[in-house]
Amino acid sequence: MLSVRELKSFLQEVQAASLFDLSHRFASSPDLVRDRIQLLLRKGCVRKVCKTSDCGTKCVKCDPLFTEIYQWVDTH
């Protein structure tokens, strides 16, 4: 089962990852990853960012698994 600690360590290492990458890395469903990452979002350790500034404004055909990016925020 995916833990918040595992997510934290991985994001600290890679700095940013899509929901797709996180789901595959931890062999977990996107919903489980979203659930686990909520604590890190609330603590301000991670932020959710859009893949590009134009993303979601034109074709609207992108799969959210690829455009939902989580970025580590250095809290030091």
DSSP annotation string for 11-66: HHHHSEEEHHHHHHHTT--HHHHHHHHHHHHHHTSEEEEESSTTTTSS-----HHH
List of domains in the chain? 4-72 (1.10.10)
Q: What is the mean pLDDT of residues 43-48?
A: 95
14 pLDDT tier (thresholds 50, 70, 90): very high
52 pLDDT tier (thresholds 50, 70, 90): low
Q: State what percent of residues in the chain have pLDDT above 90.
A: 68
74 pLDDT tier (thresholds 50, 70, 90): confident
